[in-house]
A and B are shown apart, each in its own frame.
Chain A
Amino acid sequence: MTDQDDKKWVEAAKKDPSAFSELYERYVDRIYNYIYYRVSNVHDAEDLTSRTFYRALSHLQAYKDRGIPFSAWLYRIAHNLIVNWHRDRGRRPVVALDGLVLKSRLSECPEDVAEYQDDTRLLREGMRKLDPIRQELLVLKFSQGLSNAEIGEIMGRSEGAIKSLYHRTLLALRKELAKKGLHIE
């Protein structure tokens, strides 16, 4: 999945909108995942994912690659919809707390599983205490696996600024976790 491939499919979809299905297949999981961790529930994540792709299809003619890849453009649409969604509900953006899966740990003893669950809950609670920009950065970094440069394109900041923000975010997260008695060493 490269920017060059995206460019090819975007140009194709501008001429024939049915080619948009290829872009949908490439990004639906990532966009859903990004939205899910910003709105905290499946129902709204599905609704906002739908709106993101409808808006992208509707405004595709207006998209011009001026150094911003199609993926970053799509994330920005999702980001704006999330911001509006939170504003309409008067709520602070939060990292989702549900959907915890004990992958590959089910065979371990119940005490370990319970401890793991508890640590994960505390960790997510700690993330919820961070400001929305830092929460977004953590989701893009860890859930999406994006590089600092890619995150910079989405958040409209330089790679250096993201690197610095990331370090400050980890420090803030560590501080929040320490308040809850969780020390990750």
Chain B
Amino acid sequence: MMAQMQRTVRPGWWRLGDLLRQLARRLPGVGPLSKNSPSSDALESAARAALRPVVPSGDFREALRNNLSFAAQGKMAGLSVECPKPFRQGIILGLSAGLLAATIATLVVVLRSRLSHSEG
């Protein structure tokens, strides 16, 4: 009797289990996104591929290593560590070039005026 009841009920439970599994597959947005969810695994894999690790160029690595080593030596000597700022170097170079050009132009004007005075 019991065995017959079990044989009758078991397929029903299995069918219900199947139905619930199908329902869960069709409603991926329902409930917390669990680690085991196949769709969350797919999204994680896609995100991992999209954010693939990148590395800095060899030249950059080498240059920064040398600069830091130089700064470390300076620190040992009691100097403060400061990141070199490219725009500051540009300003200094620009000012130097401008100053040089102005000096040359002044010299040229002065020399010409003296020449014209001596000729006159």
User: Which residues of A are interface residues toward B (Cβ below 8 A)?
Assistant: 16-18, 20-21, 24-25, 28-29, 32-33, 36-37, 42, 45-47, 49-51, 53-55, 57-58, 95, 99, 101, 103, 119-120, 123-124, 127, 138-139, 141-145, 167, 170-171, 173-174, 177, 184-185
- Complex Cα–Cα for A45 and B54 (A): 11
Chain B residues contacting A101 (CB-CB under 8 Å) are: 52
Contact, CB under 8 Å: B42 / A120: no
Given A16-B76, A50-B67, A185-B28: A99 and B54 within 8 A (CB)?
Answer: yes
- Complex Cα–Cα for A143 and B47 (A): 9
Contact, CB under 8 Å: A28 / B61: yes
Contact, CB under 8 Å: B54 / A28: no
Given A174-B29, A185-B42: A37 and B56 within 8 A (CB)?
Answer: no
A-B contact pairs, 22 of them (CB 8 A): A17-B73, A20-B72, A24-B65, A25-B65, A28-B61, A29-B55, A29-B56, A32-B55, A33-B55, A46-B60, A49-B56, A50-B64, A50-B67, A53-B64, A57-B72, A57-B75, A101-B52, A120-B46, A138-B47, A142-B50, A174-B39, A185-B42
User: Which residues of B are interface residues toward A (Cβ below 8 A)?
Assistant: 28-29, 32-33, 38-40, 42-44, 46-57, 60-61, 64-65, 67-69, 71-73, 75-76, 80-83, 86
Given A29-B55, A185-B28, A185-B39: A127 and B72 within 8 A (CB)?
Answer: no
Chain B residues contacting A143 (CB-CB under 8 Å) are: 51-54
Pick from B53, B56, B71: contact of A54, CB below 8 A: B71
Chain A residues contacting B57 (CB-CB under 8 Å) are: 42
Interface of A is mostly: helix
A180 to B: closest C-beta gap in Å: 13
Contact, CB under 8 Å: A28 / B56: yes
Contact, CB under 8 Å: A120 / B49: yes
- Complex Cα–Cα for A2 and B56 (A): 23
- Complex Cα–Cα for A144 and B76 (A): 33
